[in-house]
Every structure is written in C-alpha cells, then in structure tokens.
Structure 1
C-alpha cells in the first residue's frame, strides 16, 4: 500500500475574479495557444516548482534517495519505532514523488505535442517504476511480520496510527502478494505494461490528422474536442456528418487501437493470474475492498432499467420532432438555450448551488476559487475532458476545456465537487488516509451536479426553461448511469473473453461494442437506429486503459443522488452524514463507509430509487409538454 500513486479524478475549476488580468507570457505548462488567455484562466504551477530546472533537480534528488531504502530492509519487524521510522520515510518520499508527478502530468495535459512534455512524462514513468522496484520488499516484509505483531506495534506506538489503515490492507492482501523479487520485477515493468494507454493518447492527441467540416461558413476540425461540440449541434445533418467524419477517422486505426487495448486487457488478466485472483475484475476491485457483487448488481439493475432509458429516448424523439432516432440524436439539447456560462458565472452558480452544504463547504470553495489553480480553455495540443489532480497541503489543480455552455457549467460544478472533497479529506485526515479511492471519488462531483440542477430548476421561469433544466438532468442520468454501465459491461465482456482464451482485436472490440450499443439503445425494439460506423466508439474512450474505472461513475451517481436528496430534504444531520463521507477520505473501505451512511450498492434498492427519479423527471416533462 505504500506506493507512489497518482491522485487523479475528473474535475473542473474556474476563478471567481470579476476582472480579467492583462495578458501574460506563457507560464510553465501553458501551450503557446494559451499565451493570450487571461492569467486567471491558466494555472500557476509555481506552488509545486519554481521552474522546470527545479523540478528536474527534485526528480534527480528522489532518484538518489531510492537506493537508501535498502538500509531499512529487515528492520520492519524489529520494534514499533523501527516500523514507524520506515513508514514515515516512505510516506515522505511518496509525497515528494506526487509533487513531481503532478507537475509533469499537468504540463503534459495542456500540450501533449511538446517534446519536452512527452520527455518529462517518460522520465516520470521511469521514476514511478524505479520507486516501485525500490520499495517492492516492503509489503512482503510487513506480511512476514504478521498481523498479531503488527497490531501490537500499532497499540504501543501512537505514531503508527496514521499508517494503521494501510498496514491492515497490506496484511489482508498477503495471499495475493508475491515475493519481494517478483514484486520488484512487476513494479519495474509497470510503466511498460501501462504504455498502451500513452500510445493511445499520443495517437489521438498528436498523430491522427483529424478531418474538417465546414459548418455555418467556418472550418471545424473534428478532433475529440470538435466532435464533442458538433455532436450537440441543432442541425441533424451537421451532427450526422460529424459522427461520420470522427468515427470514420477512428475506423482507419481500428487495428492499432485494437492492439493497444488488447495489450492493456492482457496485462490485467496476466497480473490477476500471477496474484492468484479468480478474475481481473476481482483483482481490480480488491484494491478498494469493493465486493464484485456491486459491479454485477449495477449491470443487472441497469439492464432491468432499460425500459426507463428507452422511454427517455422516445421522449427525446418527440421533443426534437424527428421521424426516427439515431445515435447522433442523443446529444443536442431537448430545449435550446442561448444562455452562456463564462467561468465567473459558473463559479457563482456553483457557490449558490452548493449553499445547502453549509458554511465550511462554502469557505473552502471560495478559498479555492481565489487562487490560480485551473487551466480553463481548450487549446491546440491540449487533451480533452476534465480532471482534478493535486498534492497534499495545496489547493487542488483543476483541468477544464470550458466553452461557456451548459455542459461546461455542469462540468465546472462536477469538478469542484472533486476539489472540495480533496480539501475536506485533507483537513480531516493525515496524508496517509486523505487519498480517497475511486469508488467514492465521483460521489462528491455528481452530488454537485444534482444540487446545480435543483438550484437552476428553482430559478427557472416558464415552461421552456423548466424543460431545459429537466432535460439536462435526464441526460446526466443517461450519460452517467446507463452509458457508464454500458462501458463497464464492455470491459467485463472483453476481460471475460481474454480469460476464456479468445483472441482480441479491433474487429472483435467493435463487434462486442456494437451489440451493447444495440441492446442499450433499443435497436431491435425500434427505439433507435445504430449506424455501424458509430460502433468504433470504444476506441474513443480513454478510460478503458484504466480497467474497471468507469463503473464507479454509475455507482457514484446512484449514491450521490441519494445524498443530494437527503441534504435538500433534511437538515444538519443529513448534511453532516454526507460531508462525513467526504471527510473520511481513505480511512475506511468505501463500500463499508457508504453502508454506514445508509447506501448499500450491493443491493437493488439504491439503483431502483435512481430509476424512479428518472421516471419522475420524464413524468414532469410529459405533463409540461401536454400543457396548452
């Protein structure tokens, strides 16, 4: 458990400054295309390192420290003080490593084309592997000391309290931990095994020559960012052209994408076997002590709820006035809104929407919005999407591609959910237990989306504005619950096929994905047409290179909906129950933590409640549409 880990979640941030600063020279991590952006919209990485040279000096200093860890080997069972000294040393080095990692990864995100950023990431991957190899003996040695002796050490040495959670997790994993030599070899190979994701990223962000379309007299490059914008276009012909161009470009690289993804799947399957797990999914979920029953229950309940999803699609067809429905008809707003949400407006709306979470939450959010810790606007070479990353003790860094539309507003609130979750956990927990697992990471972000929807609905004037907000709420549930579960089912099928000894290729992935698209979107029932070209969409999803990550969006929106409704309907007790989940960080297994807070995701009840909410929103919209 005492590993160099990347703290990384989806995120969005913007600064609450009313006046734009004068244009500044490009900062570290800022691509040339952002040089004219207001300073407040570009993060300042100097709290991490003053310069690239300072970063490299620290990286080399860390490399020099790694051989010294060998002196600690053989001491962990000597006495409680020796164990504490070793673990404190490892924690301090890991924190320094995270600072170096975040500096490199944030710059790579803002311009993955730049050779210096690619090289810096390569150096970090190498450091990551060397760190893993240098500390590979730690877990086996703790396990050799044994549970009884370690527990006695914890009782006798107060300084071990901060390490107790990780110590116990290491002891629980003893059956799946290899010898020190094998662990060291696997750690050293880690960057190689994960290289498929970097290859995929370079292919998408740097190497593919994306097609262009002429839309309303302007040339638009249909890269992932351009596609995400055009898929919402009100003109159906434009959407159809964008889908054909984007997925057609991906199809040219079907074999390459198939090879990279198959390599990642194979790595997970092989490691699971080496560690004596029954399946790759069991191995992945074991890290956070999440029962496999949670993932299986999610998939089962989503499949049982497909009639609700299909009901939404029929409502969408009605509202868009279409004779039929196709995959390129999912994304345009059901009701058009010309309202814009620049970063300062998004900041204020996020503050207003999260007021029910109390004064402490508001204070942390205002503090975070007062410093330059975000990268806001799209730019050439900048990766798509949004995320949060950070280092213990600093305001988190937030990465956006903000385009002033409603999706950008929702992403802003979503990502600041991550940011304040991080700040709450760091305020309540020591470094060793402040890092929350993925299973709870998306709860705070999606709860903010629910609060934002309810806030905007309360402010809505007139039928169309209410329909707009309700429609966006429905789309959030579709995209976060059903779509992410479909992704999880695709991952399950791909890993199951590999474990059965079947070969995986680009064409096989396309066939698997196409069957799921047809099932989830009701193709055989006449709900939606699925053009074969969109079956390349699997190649567009970067999360598949982080196996069994996406299902947690769906479980999280389920738990988040529960907590948001409790906060809005209840009082201080309900609010504190929710905030205490966030403050807990990684101090307890996430499934156990949620059970104690009233949400058991291994049972049907939470999912059925979410489906009832979705049905209720459709009811409201149909009543509004029926009004004369």
Structure 2
C-alpha cells in the first residue's frame, strides 16, 4: 500500500482490542456522560461526517491529476505532497470517528456501514495515489536532495521521502500498486469478520457465579477468570472456550486467510519472509525479533519458577491454565475511575511537572469511554486525530488491573500529545515499536509508586505478585504469541494449509512449552488450546512482539529515571516520545542508550523477575 494513503485503521496504535457520544447503545445510555467521550470536536454530527466523506470522495480526481507533476521542480513536489498530506489528515479524522462509534456499539447497523464506507474510501484513495511512490522513486535520491535544499517546505515530508527511497526494491509499478490499494478493503475484511463474529454473532452463554447469572463473553471472561474459587474459574474457562471452540473452523478461515495475505504480499514485494516485510516498514531488523524469541526461550526456567511460586501461594495440589489469573493474595480494594486517575497522576511524577499537568488537563476533558456495555468491543485502546485531544477506550472493572490499564492507555495518550506538539502531522505518527514503550513505562511507574506506598507486607506481596503477572503477560505471553506468528507464517510459506485444527495444534505446542507441561509445572488442557481464536492482534501481522520488546525498554527507562540524580534520563526518554515518527525506532533507542538487538535488555527482564521472586520469598518466610 502506498505510504501516502492512509491505512485501513486509525493512524494511532490500537491496544488490546479494536478500538459519547453521539449515538450510544442502549447499554451505554445510562452511563454518566463524564464517562463517555465527546466526539463533537471531530464532527458535530453524523451528517457532518457524511458530508466530509463525500467531499473526500469528490477530491479523488484532483489528487489523481497530480500524477506526472512531482518531478517538475521542488515547488511542484511540495504542492503535491502538501495536498496529499491534507487528504490523509481528513481521512484520519473520518476513520477515528467511524471506529470510535462502532467500538462503543458493534450491534448498530449505521456504525457497521460507516466503517464499511471508510474501507471503500480508503481503497479508492489508495488507488488514486498508487502512482506516488513509483514517481518519487523515478525522481531519484540525488534530485530529491536537491529539491529539499531548494524548498524548505519539503522538510516536513523528509521522513516519508526517506522511506519511499528506502523501500524502492519492494515497491511495485504504479498499476500494480493501484490494484493492491484498491483491494485493501477486501484484504482487511477478515479482521472485521472476526470482530463481528466475537462481538455480535456468537451467542455467549450465561452461568451462575456467586448466586447470579453472568454472561461469559470476550469482555467478562477477563474478569471472571480471576475468580478466587477454582471451580468457578474452571467453569468460566470451560464455558468460554467451549463456545469459542464451536467456531474453530470459521476462525481458522479468517486467521488462515490473513496469514496467507501477509505471505503473498511479502512475496509480491520481494521480501525474504512475511516477518521481514512487516518489520521493514519501521526499519526494525529481523534480528531484533529473533533475538527476543531466543532470549525469552532461555528465560523459560524463570517463568516456570513463577508458576511454582503461584501454585505454592494459592495452595493448589497441581496447576492448570485456569490458575494463572487470580491474585496471589486476596485484597478487597475497589478502584473507581477517579481513584485510577489520581493514582496514575501520582505515579507519573518522575516524568516531571509539565507531563503531570498536561495529563491532568486531558483527564479533565471528556476524552474517555470508560464502562463496559452491551455490544461494546472488549479491551482497551487509544487513538487520536492530529490537533485534537487523544481518545482512550476502556472497559473499567474497578480492580487494580483497570488502574494499570488506564495508566497504560494514557501512556499512549501522552505520547500522542507530546509527538503532536513537537512534530508536524507528517512526522508525528510514531511506529508501534516505540508506542508500547510509552504505555508500559507508565505501568512500571505505577507499580513503583504503589510499592513505595504499600503499608503492609501483604500489600507489598500483592503488588509484587501483580508485577510478576504483568511481566508474564506482557513479556512471556506476547513473545509466545510472536512465536506463534512466526510458525504460522513459516507453515504457509512452506506450502501448508492453516485449518482451524492445525492452528490449534501449533498453538497447543507453544502453550505446553511456555508453561512447562512436559516438566510437570502446569497441565495444559486440550480444550483451551483454541485460545488463538480469542486474540485479535493476530490479524495485525507481527504486531504483538512489540509488547515484549517494549516491556524490556520500559523497565530500562523507568529504572534509569528513578535512579537518576538529575533530569537527563527523563528528558532523554521524553525526547524519544516527542520525536514521533521522525526517527527509525531501533536507531533512536540506541542513541538513547538502549540496544534492542542485543540480549542485554531481555536478560534484564529475567533478572527483574527473579529479584521480585527473591523478595516475595523473603516476605513469605517472615509471615
């Protein structure tokens, strides 16, 4: 897809799920307006959105007419790129509005149709601009450098021009690029089909929990799998995965097709592999991905040590997959949204007063859609329109995980705010490799703050246990997902077909490896091996590994900021965020003192986990 056409998703990274308000679902209408976001700064009404979409559609012929003008002179190039950039800004605004509405109520036909219209428009825009990259490449590096010296207005486009030249060996001809761009809505349909299947079409069953009927769907599953009663947890797992498993073949088609699409596109663009094609977009060496997997594999004994500690603390005779999520210690503390905000603001104090103050201002606006509702997407995310306040989507459950999620998403939100304030639109959109660092650093700072405020050994044990679980979920689990992606894509590249049952086999093998099934650490029950169908991130090829690399980077930056005697480490970190997408991410981190292509950052995560367990064992011995 041409880099000058907006992809078929909001520009900002989405976290954990897909992605008021003007058109609330029945479940959300009863919510406090302060807990729903206000989309009127983007569009005053649905009619205003549709008028803007029609205007964008009407402009396509004029954009196509720019073809053949880019190489005339510096002024012609700047004029064309400025107009294309303005079109992309309008597309971003259209997309964010459409996705924000759909994710609050996936049942609403108008929301589905609006997203469908945006898919069509994105394909049309991509086709209208498919000639841009080949034409820029024909100008050549030497003449482009001359144009940039002649016209200072091209500075805002320098990063994009760099990428166009860098990716020249993987760019098709103008006609082929037009075909690929026009097919974008079709190629993205598998992810949308998976989302509608989970959020709308599957009839999720209800079970009795604590004397009340509770629906077990993709949102509530995350809550009930933490239940302290083992029998309830097993019932929740059996119910959820039993229902999910009935659609194994359908999920196999949607994910298998998405993997096939990644492989075919990598071959068409002459990349050695699908993973190399994905990482090339952000100049991330494939060696970073493979180093992560190799070093994580080396650290599995530490993960297994954690599982044995979990079994000991929960006083269980054995360990099953449904025993991962309950807190190691019971702690009856409810964290409402206001308390979650207060704790997050206190936790980010090491990032300086300006950061705190800006976050406080954003939290005081209607920038969040907070509470679960019927038809609402699961998970959490942050997205934005350039020049507007970031938007954060949550499913707040009043537990400590919800506090951590709010801190995480506002790490993204503040990253967006800092990058937008420091960079022009064309350079503000940061790569995913950097995005998760900002979010997870906030989680690490929250953990440090909470531990410093702990008033008893039991509270400290609870928080240390939560940190261990965060390291497991963000580092080991996401790397397991990354390895799953490698294996599925390797299978297709080797000519293998990916049925639902084959995907389950691949995933089951990894579950057993990572959780020590053969070593007697944890029993992996076969009915839970269809968990791959629950993970929406697999439809964004080679995305999840960045959670794990970011976990390592976030720990590095948070530790350095906490131990510093001056503001230098803090400003170094914030400057990485302010840079937005103006720098290659791995190179930018290396300049900030962190080499993600070496084993060192991953070894540090393993050391941190062992240090936490050493401290927990010391506290347990004193009880």
Q: Give the distance between the partners of 1:415 and 1:389, measured in 2 at CA.
A: 9
User: Are residues 1:280 and 2:274 paired?
Assistant: yes
Stretch of structure 1 that moved more, 281-290 or 2-11? 2-11
Structure 1 residue 194: Cα displacement = 1.1
Cα distance in 1 between the residues matched to 2:354 and 2:388: 17
Structure 1, residues 316-337: CA drift from partner, whole Å, max 9, x if none? 0011000100000000001111
Among 347, 358, 369, the alignment partner of 2:363 is 369
Q: Among 305, 308, 314, which residue is 1:311 paired with?
A: 305
* Equivalent residue for 2:584, pick from 579, 585, 589: 589
Q: Which residue of 2 aligns with 1:17?
A: none
Matching residue of 1:601 = 596
Deviation of the 1:559 alpha carbon? 0.3
Task: Report the alpha carbon displacement of residue 503 of structure 1 after superposing the two structures with TM.
Answer: 1.1
The CA distance in 1 between the partners of 2:161 and 2:330, in whole Å, is 54
Give, in whole Å, the separation in 2 of the partners of 1:530 and 1:492: 22
Pick from 387, 398, 402 the counterpart of residue 404 of structure 1.
Answer: 398
Task: Give 2:210's match in structure 1, choosing from 213, 216, 233.
Answer: 216
Q: Which secondary structure does the structure 1 equivalent of 2:40 belong to?
A: coil
Q: Distance in 1 between matches of 2:436 and 2:372?
A: 23
Query: C-alpha distance in 2, partners of 1:462/1:622?
Result: 15
1:579 aligns with 2:581: no
Structure 2 counterpart of 1:23? none
Asked if 1:450 corresponds to 2:452, the answer is no
> Who is 1:252 aligned against?
246
1:10, distance to aligned residue in structure 2 (A): 4.2
Shift of the alpha carbon at 1:27? 3.3
How many Å apart are 1:72 and its aligned residue?
1.0
Matches within 5 A, 1:164-175: 164-175=158-169
- What residue number does 1:614 align with? 609
| CA offsets 1:110-135 (integer angstroms, 9 cap, x no match) | 01111111100100110111111111
Residue 16 of structure 1: aligned partner: none
Matched, 1:204 2:208: no
Match of 1:89 in 2: 83
- 9, 13, 18: which one aligns with 2:13: 9
Residue 517 of structure 1 is aligned with which of 508, 511, 516? Answer: 511
What CA distance in whole angstroms lies between the structure 1 residues aligned with 2:344 and 2:403?
8
Q: Does 1:192 align with 2:212?
A: no
Give a deviation string over 1:348-392, Cα, whole Å, max 9, x none. Answer: 100000011001211210121121011000000000000001111
What are the within-5 Å matches in structure 2 for residues 117-136 of structure 1? 117-136=111-130
Q: Which residue of 2 aligns with 1:440?
A: 434
Which stretches of structure 1, 4 residues or longer, exceed 3 Å deviation after superposition?
none
SS state of the match for residue 9, structure 1?
coil
Structure 2: distance between partners of 1:168 and 1:244: 51
CA distance in structure 1 between the aligned counterparts of 2:305 and 2:287, rounded to whole angstroms: 28
Which stretches in structure 2 are left out of the alignment for 5+ residues? Answer: none
Q: Which residue of 2 aligns with 1:150?
A: 144
Cα distance between partner residues in 2 of 1:84 and 1:362: 38
- The DSSP-based 3-state class of the residue aligned with 2:65 is helix
8 A contact 1:30–1:42 mirrored in 2: no
Match of 2:220 among 223, 226, 240: 226
Structure 1 residues 267-307: Cα deviation after superposition (integer angstroms, max 9, x where no partner):
01011111001111100000000000000000001100000
The question of 1:556 aligning with 2:558 is answered no
In 2, the alpha carbon distance for the partners of 1:9 and 1:340 equals: 29
Q: Hey, what's the Cα distance between the residues in 1 that align with 2:67 and 2:452?
A: 61
Are the aligned partners of 1:355 and 1:362 in contact in 2 as well (CA < 8 Å)?
A: yes
Deviation at 1:29, TM superposition (A): 4.2
What secondary structure, in the 3-state scheme, does the structure 2 residue paired with 1:278 have?
Answer: coil
Contact 2:12/2:429 (CA < 8 Å) preserved in 1? no
**Secondary structure of the residue that 2:183 maps to in structure 1?**
helix
* CA distance in 2 between partners of 1:108 and 1:34 (Å): 13
Question: Is the partner of 1:341 in helix, strand or coil?
Answer: coil
Partner of 2:48: 54
Counterpart Cα distance in 2 of 1:29 and 1:7: 23
Q: Is the 8 A contact 1:11 1:414 kept in 2?
A: no
1:502 is paired with a residue of what secondary structure? coil
Where does structure 1 lack aligned partners over 5 or more consecutive residues?
A: 13-25
Deviation string, structure 1 residues 491-530 (Cα, Å, up to 9, x no partner): 0000000000011100000000000000000000000000
Structure 2: how far apart are the matches of 1:334 and 1:130?
52
Q: Deviations over 1:386-411 (max 9, x none)?
A: 00011111111110000110110000
- Secondary structure of 1:62's match? helix
Distance 2:150 2:598 in 1: 40
Distance between the aligned counterparts of 2:203 and 2:140, measured in 1?
56
User: Which residue is equivalent to 1:419?
Assistant: 413
Q: CA deviation at 1:11?
A: 5.7
CA distance in 2 between counterparts of 1:184 and 1:438 reads: 26
Q: Report Cα offsets for 1:160-196 as digits up to 9, x if no partner.
A: 0010011011011111000111000000001101100
Q: Does 1:488 align with 2:482?
A: yes
Indicate the RMSD between aligned Cα atoms, in angstroms: 0.9
* Preserved CA contact (<8 Å) 1:11 1:418: no
Q: TM-score, normalised by structure 2?
A: 0.98
Count matched residues: 615
| Equivalence for 2:257 | 263
Q: Distance in 2 between matches of 1:29 and 1:96?
A: 21
Equivalent residue of 2:214, what SS? strand
Q: Under a length normalisation based on structure 1, what TM-score does the superposition of the two structures give?
A: 0.97
Cα distance, 1:30 vs. partner?
A: 2.1
C-alpha contact (below 8 Å) 1:435/1:585 kept by paired residues: yes
1:613, distance to aligned residue in structure 2 (A): 0.7
Q: Distance in 1 between matches of 2:88 and 2:363?
A: 27
Matched residue, 2:333: 339
Q: Distance in 2 between matches of 1:217 and 1:612?
A: 43
